[in-house]
Amino acid sequence: MKVIAFNGSPRRGGNTEILLVEAIRGVKDNGHDVTTYNLDSLNLRACLNCGKCDGEGLCVVKDDMQMINQEIRGADRIIVSSPIFFFTVSAQTKIMIDRCQAFWAEKYVHKKPVPPGTFGRKGLLLLVGGMKQNEKNVGFQCAEATVRAFFRTVNVQEHVTLTFAAVDKKGAIKDHPTALSEAYEAGTRLVT
Ligand SMILES: Cc1cc2nc3c(=O)[nH]c(=O)nc-3n(C[C@H](O)[C@H](O)[C@H](O)COP(=O)(O)O)c2cc1C
């Protein structure tokens, strides 16, 4: 299976990446390679809403998104890991997602959804936030809605979401009683 992962945190070695590494370990221990993209290191411009993808089904902005587009297209499993920034995913994550408007046009305008592949495309979403969540968990709900829209747009037909609140200091996720084992298990389940 082709498995790709997006690290949406600009803080390298931080909580988002630590969680992601554990999920990837779960995938690799089951015999699959994972290609990771650190979104903060890529050259990705925000969507211009130029409307060109409505006409041609292709994004005309030339940057690393052409490569990411191909990677998503060929992926059987997609992992997204993001910190909560201002009650949703990080800007790095959101820029990549917005650029998937070309996939949206392909699916909903041209009625040609990207094929789900031999194994049925599946996803995993890992979210970590510093705040003790209020009763409505607004940050996680907003991020979940955004990533769900991304996943369905690129024909990830089902996904699992793990959320971890009150994890703020760099590396604090390591002190969480279950987070790392939950991420590892989720990685395992993603490919088995
Ligand atoms: C710009 C910014 C905005 C943030 N907004 C929120 C927020 O709305 N809700 C929350 O729970 N945590 C918020 N945080 C805290 C981060 O989600 C938290 O520190 C997280 O552990 C960072 O993950 P990282 O170590 O991978 O960078 C914010 C942090 C930053 C830098």
The C-alpha atoms of residue 55 and residue 78 are separated, in whole angstroms, by 27
Q: Can you give the pLDDT at residue 57? A: 80
pTM: 0.97
Write down the residue that tokens 């600009």 correspond to: 10
Computed over every residue of the chain, the mean pLDDT equals: 96
Burial class (CB in 10 A: 0-12, 13-18, 19+), 73: middle
Going by alpha carbons, the residue nearest to atom 29 of ligand 1 is: 85
Q: Can you give the pLDDT at residue 166? A: 95
User: Mean pLDDT for each 10-residue chunk of the chain (192 residues)?
Assistant: 98 98 98 98 97 90 97 98 97 98 94 91 97 83 98 97 97 98 98 96
Residues framing ligand 1 (Cβ under 6 A): 9, 11, 14-16, 83-87, 128-131, 139, 167-168, 170
- If you measure from the C-alpha of residue 150 to the centroid of ligand 1, how many angstroms do you get, rounded to a whole number? 21
- Per-residue model confidence as pLDDT tens digits over 164-183: 999 999 999 999 999 999 99
